[in-house]
Chain A
Amino acid sequence: MTVQLPKLRSPVLSGDAEIVGTVITARFRGTADIEAKPELDQYVKALHDEALRVTATKVQIDLRELEFMNSSSFKVFVTWLAQVQELPAEQQYRIHFLSNPNMHWQRRSLAALSCFAVDLVTIET
């Protein structure tokens, strides 16, 4: 199975995804600031739809090469998480963040995000 998801291309942010078995991995690179928010928003919505289409059990978000994400862009993840939480249990998938411990913004934001859904979100450093 291949993932049917257009690549994210903005002047400062890029993203692409692949699927292995029932796990989708999306990688982000660059900077997710206010200018990139519309593209990021669109991309994460499409990622969610694709996860439901292929009945993914897990979506991995690889942030290890993402230099910075502002709070407004990070809200995209919060909204997405709320959407997954509201799904019926059989449609919910786990969300796994691959993070870079050297980036301070990731430590705080991901730790806070995991509080929203401790049973859905895991963080790997």
Chain B
Amino acid sequence: MSFGSLPEGIINRFRSLSLERIGRVESVWNALLQGAEDEEAVRAMSRDLHTLKGDAKVVGYDEVHVLSQKLEELLALAAQLNYRVSEDFELVVTMATQFVSMLLKKKSAGTSGIDLDGFVQQVDDVIRETRVLRRTRPSNPHLQIVAADTSPDRLSPETRRRLARAATDAFLEYLGARNSTSRGRMRRIWHVLSQELSRLQAVELAPLLERQRAAGAVLAGELGKQVDFTIDAADVRLEPRVAEAIDMAIVHLVRNAIDHGIETPVARIAAGKRSCGRLAIRAEEASGNVHVTVEDDGGGVDLEVVRAAALEAGLLTEDSPAGERELLDILFHPGFSTRDDVSAVSGRGVGLDAVKAGIVRIGGTVRLANRPAAGTTFTIVVPAPVRQLRVFQFLAPGSAINLAVSARWTPTVEPVGADAIDPIQAMQLLGGSRQTLAGAPPPKPLAVRLRWGFLEIPVRAATEPVLATAERVCPTPDDHPVEVIEIDGVEALLLRPEHVADMRSRRDNDGD
């Protein structure tokens, strides 16, 4: 588990609330196995589990998040079978709830002695076997629970980097292959790996947000409210971890908006509004960031209520000159609440403090704008995936390979000296790449001296460097000598000259 820098109060509150939630889930599950048919209990169980999963993600209890997701899958499948499940199925559900409880009870971080992957494998086996053996019988639609989420593919950054290295190696092999069969094979491998990487590096936000529409509609119905839900997130893509953080934050904000913000139809008409409330989620990319807004036309925040609660909580004193901004910021303070009662829907969640913590954790910000009696707008700003890069582009010596270096380097063209690195030789691309220019007149050799800080590296080239904008299609770590990029749709090799020089040194030493 990684708790980051979250305040201990948030963690403790999460653990306490989550233990209550998993206890209720277990209780409802046992009742369902005994044949109980309680639609409201099933919905409450689904909400409890979904909230637990979301909260776990927000506070960094990744193992609890994973197990909650597996429980959601199990319970969704059990609902399809009207809760007539095998002993194995019962067993893994029981054990999963116990596992979650154990993890929540652990006071210290870490999962020493626990084989989470092994247990998840057991769960997956049971799910697979159950699906295979599933009997075709009609299910009770009233007892259905929301199917498990399709979360963005999770691959650790290190795994993605390894995949990127493998893809880059395949591309280099393709460039260096001596015959067309090998070249074709390596080209295909490169293509598959790079496509997969591209899919993993940035996920679409819209499908994740769409799930909130369905959940919001169910919640509004339960609360007797009418909500016109709109979502506009066309073409916005985010890194998977950022998308997950946004998803979890939106879960809380949507529940808050429907539970606390948007009024009942009667109250809205009395306030001179349409009976149907409005809840809009928009996402757009601008200036290297993605802005996500959650806007409702409910009652807004009563600042005087916030002030009174803050005074009572000791967050303000009578003579504090707190203005609107300060009062709205207090809503994100750990443990702060303006409610005396407890809402079954969102009033017992980890709250805006944890929403903010989850967003800050991934380098984002969250801000609240208030329109008294007219609604609120939460604006989350998170970094957009970095895909473009300014580069100096030039042709490799004696080949048709496009090379480039980051534009942070300052290039100076000069006659070729003995110290100039031949990048093609350094990368050992002496096969097909040289042959691509067979028969063509050799271009006039030149060197490009690259300077960045105290580094100064001369590199052989066939053409003078030209400034261009590249797309990062297969990002490799900064310590990797090369990366495949695209300039105007054509593949090129981005060199990291300081590491290409290392490659040559290693090769020279190997030769000694």
Contact status of A118 and B115, CB under 8 A, knowing A75-B98, A79-B98: yes
The one of A71, A86, A105, A112 that contacts B119, using a Cβ cutoff of 8 Å: A112
Partner of B91, one of A71, A85, A86: A71
Interface residue? A117 (CB, 8 A): yes
- Let me know if A52 is at the binding interface, CB within 8 A: no
The reply to whether A118 and B113 contact each other, CB–CB distance below 8 Å, is yes
Partner of A115, one of B87, B90, B94, B118: B118
Q: In the assembled complex, which residues on chain B have CB atoms less than 8 Å from the CB atom of A86? A: 105
A71 cross-chain contacts in B, Cβ below 8 A: 87, 90-91, 93-94
- Which has the most chain A C-beta neighbours within 10 Å: B91, B102, B114, B116? B91
CB <8 Å contact, B115 and A108:
no
Question: Which residues from chain A contact B126 at a C-beta distance below 8 Å?
Answer: 108
With A85-B113, A116-B99, A117-B114 known as contacts, the answer to whether A108 contacts B122 (CB < 8 A) is yes
Known: A115-B119, A117-B114, A119-B113. A108 touches B91 (CB 8 A): yes
Decide: A85 and B102 in contact? CB cutoff 8 A.
yes
Chain A residues in contact with chain B, CB under 8 A?
70-72, 74-75, 78-79, 82, 85-86, 105, 108-109, 111-120
Q: How far is the CA of A99 from the CA of B416 in the complex (A)?
A: 75
Q: Which 7 A-B pairs have the closest CB atoms?
A: A115-B119, A71-B90, A71-B91, A115-B115, A119-B113, A115-B118, A78-B98
Q: Name B94's contact: one of A72, A85, A117 (CB within 8 Å).
A: A72
What's the nearest-Cβ distance from chain A to residue B333, in Å? Answer: 33
Across the interface, A75 reaches (CB within 8 A) one of B94, B114, B116, namely: B94
By secondary structure, the B interface counts as helix
- With a cutoff of 8 Å between Cβ atoms, the chain B residues found around residue A119 in the complex are 112-113
B88 on the interface (CB 8 Å rule)? yes
Neighbouring B residues of A74 by C-beta, 8 Å: 91, 94-95
Q: A71-B90, A108-B122 are in contact. Are A115 and B98 (CB under 8 A)?
A: no
Q: Which of B58-93 contact A (CB under 8 A)?
A: 87-88, 90-93
Main secondary structure of the interface of A (DSSP, over half): helix
CA distance A116 to B93 in the complex (A): 14
Instruction: Pick the contact of A112: B87, B95, B101, B113 (CB < 8 A).
Output: B95
Would you mind naming 13 contact pairs between A and B with Cβ atoms under 8 Å apart? A70-B90, A71-B93, A74-B95, A78-B94, A82-B98, A82-B101, A108-B88, A108-B122, A111-B118, A111-B122, A113-B95, A116-B98, A117-B114
Listed in ascending order, the chain B residues whose CB lies under 8 Å from chain A are: 87-88, 90-95, 98-99, 101-102, 105, 112-116, 118-119, 122, 125-126
Query: Which chain B residue lies CB-closest to A74?
Result: B91
- Chain B residues with CB under 8 Å of A118's CB are 113-115, 118
Chain B, residue nearest A118 (CB): B115
* Given A85-B102, A85-B113, A115-B119; 6 other pairs, CB 8 A cutoff: A71-B93, A75-B94, A75-B95, A82-B101, A112-B92, A117-B113
Q: How distant is the Cα of A120 from the Cα of B115 in the complex, in angstroms?
A: 12
With both beta carbons as reference points, the residue of chain A lying nearest to B85 in the complex is identified as: A71
Query: Which of B99, B102, B126 neighbours the largest number of chain A CB atoms within 10 Å of its CB?
Result: B102
Q: Chain B residues with Cβ under 8 A from A105's Cβ?
A: 87-88
Interfacial chain A residues near B116, Cβ < 8 Å = 115
Assembly CA distance A115 to B105 (angstroms): 17
* A68 to B: closest C-beta gap in Å: 8
Chain A residues with CB under 8 Å of B93's CB are: 71
Which residue from chain B places its CB closest to the CB of A117 in the assembled complex? B113
Complex-state Cα separation, A121 to B477, whole angstroms: 40
Chain A nearest Cβ from B53, distance in angstroms: 20
Which of A72, A112, A116 has the most chain B CB within a 10 Å cutoff? Answer: A112
Please name the residue on chain B nearest to A105 by beta carbon.
B87
* A residues near B94, Cβ cutoff 8 Å: 71-72, 74-75, 78
In the bound complex, how far is the Cα of B10 from the Cα of A82, in angstroms?
Answer: 25
**How far is B95's CA from A113's CA once the two chains are assembled, in angstroms?**
8
With contact pairs A108-B122, A112-B119, A115-B114 given, residues A78 and B95 touching in the complex (Cβ less than 8 Å): yes
A82 B90 Cβ-Cβ under 8 A: no
Most chain B beta-carbon contacts within 10 A, residue among A71, A78, A118: A71
> Smallest distance from the beta carbon of A63 to chain B beta carbons, Å?
14
- CA–CA, A118 and B105, complex, Å: 18
A72 and B31 alpha carbons, distance in the complex (Å): 13
Residues of A within 8 A of B88 (CB): 105, 108
A87 to chain B, nearest CB (A): 13
